[in-house]
Structure 1
Amino acid sequence: MKKTIFILLIAVFTSVSINAQKINWVDFEQALALQKKNPKKIMMDVYTNWCGPCKMLDKNTFQNKEVVDYINEHYYAVKFNGEGDDVVDYKTNSFTNPNYNPANANRRNSAHELTRYLQVSAYPTIVFFDDKGDVIAPIRGYQKPSQLELYLKMFKQDHHKNIKTQEEFNAYYKAFVSNFKD
């Protein structure tokens, strides 16, 4: 009997993990190339290996079905290690991390040149790009699904273009009704 229950539990957990929604992550250069064929905005998760809130964002927000479905439909999603050693070509520049130390791969390391270029000063930061690959805004810190929803929809619908002041953003924020469950 115990063996049967154990096998059933394994089957259930395996089924849950197989059926779990996943964001279709691509690298930044792929996202920029995809934009040329099918214009969409880009959402870049700038993280580090050592960052606790980054892991929470992955576990809680980027596993949320509503978040996953919305991002996959309306954005190209990019994961970028803000202290990694990738070479990234963007806007006629090649960005590297010349001070990267492989011994610190899972600890604090040197910030990547692209991280600095995008003005990322905290992890996690989600950087939004328009459908031409230009930066819209970096959003710093951990975001629950309902918090991220505001930015996903605001940038997707270009509402940010009509917001010129902090007061206008505050009014937009107060009027926004979230449909995503945390």
Structure 2
Amino acid sequence: MQTLKLLVFFTWITVFSCGQRPVEAQSKTKWLTLQQVTDSLQKQKRPVLIDLYTDWCGWCKVMDKKTYANKQVGAYLQDKFYAAKVDAESKEKITWNGKAYTFNQNYRTNDFAVYLTRGQLSYPTTVIIPVDGEPQAVPGYLTPAELELLVKYFGEGHYGKKGFDEFQKSFKATW
């Protein structure tokens, strides 16, 4: 009888805990579709952050698990940006600012990725599109602290007013 009680207890604990997501997972970055970003920009201007990735990219997966799952990263992006994930190798038509982008056989990627990176394809790439500005692509894996510097430069309105080097010298990381 005691064994049965223990079995029921552990089964209950397992079922209960599987239904609960860790706090960090609850706070991870909330991604929008590009259409949702476009619709949101019609209502309120904000910078856009695009995580440009591929399915085969190992560092893209690490960035998802370590950077975009970070509680502070998720909260900041939710507050200051419209964030979207884009598969660079998508064969689907992608529409952005009234222009359609399709899969490019020569690059074996979508022309939207070529546009965002100015042809300098690398994964992952974090692309920030400032309000009324052109895409700024930053290739490579970024830790939460490295991403903090970048997103706060754009999210706090320093882009276009203060040089990045000047901003970086006075920046104090908090993540």
The two structures have a TM-score, normalised by structure 2, of: 0.84
Give yes or no for contact 2:51–2:127 (8 Å, CA) kept in 1.
Answer: yes
Equivalent residue for 1:33, pick from 13, 35, 39: 39
1:175 correspondence with 2:170: yes
Give yes or no for contact 2:153–2:167 (8 Å, CA) kept in 1.
Answer: no
Amino-acid identity (%): 25
1:88 correspondence with 2:86: no
Q: In structure 2, what residue type is equivalent to 1:11?
A: F
Alignment length (residue pairs): 167
Q: Distance in 1 between matches of 2:43 and 2:168?
A: 33
Alpha carbons of structure 1 residues 130 and 55: separation in structure 2 relative to 1, 3 Å: same
Q: Distance in 2 between matches of 1:54 and 1:4?
A: 39
Q: Distance in 1 between matches of 2:15 and 2:67?
A: 25
Alpha-carbon distance, 1:91 to partner: 3.6
Equivalent residue for 2:10, pick from 5, 8, 30: 5
Alpha-carbon distance, 1:2 to partner: 4.8
Alpha-carbon distance, 1:179 to partner: 1.1
Give yes or no for contact 2:50–2:83 (8 Å, CA) kept in 1.
Answer: yes
Instruction: Give the structure 2 partner of residue 59 of structure 1.
Output: 65
Instruction: Give the structure 1 partner of residue 140 of structure 2.
Output: 141
In the alignment, structure 2 segments of 5+ residues that lack a partner are 1-5
In the alignment, structure 1 segments of 5+ residues that lack a partner are 101-108
Instruction: Give the structure 2 partner of residue 43 of structure 1.
Output: 49
Alpha-carbon distance, 1:62 to partner: 0.8
Alpha-carbon distance, 1:17 to partner: 4.6
Q: In structure 2, what residue type is equivalent to 1:38?
A: Q
Alpha-carbon distance, 1:24 to partner: 2.4
Aligned residue for 1:56, secondary structure, equals helix
Q: In structure 2, what residue type is equivalent to 1:140?
A: P
Instruction: Give the structure 1 partner of residue 3 of structure 2.
Output: none
Q: Distance in 1 between matches of 2:162 and 2:135?
A: 12
Alpha-carbon distance, 1:3 to partner: 4.6
- Cα RMSD of the aligned pairs, angstroms, is 2.3
Alpha-carbon distance, 1:173 to partner: 2.3
Instruction: Give the structure 2 partner of residue 23 of structure 1.
Output: 29
Q: Runs (4+) of structure 1 moved beyond 4 Å?
A: none
Alpha-carbon distance, 1:146 to partner: 1.0
Give yes or no for contact 1:54–1:123 (8 Å, CA) kept in 2.
Answer: yes
Give yes or no for contact 1:97–1:110 (8 Å, CA) kept in 2.
Answer: yes
Alpha-carbon distance, 1:12 to partner: 2.6
Alpha carbons of structure 1 residues 85 and 51: separation in structure 2 relative to 1, 3 Å: same
Point out the structure with max Rg over C-alpha.
Answer: 2
1:130 correspondence with 2:130: yes
Q: Distance in 1 between matches of 2:105 and 2:74?
A: 34
Give CA deviations for 1:90-144 in whole Å, capped at 9, x if unaligned.
24421000439xxxxxxxx812111111124210001101233x32411111111
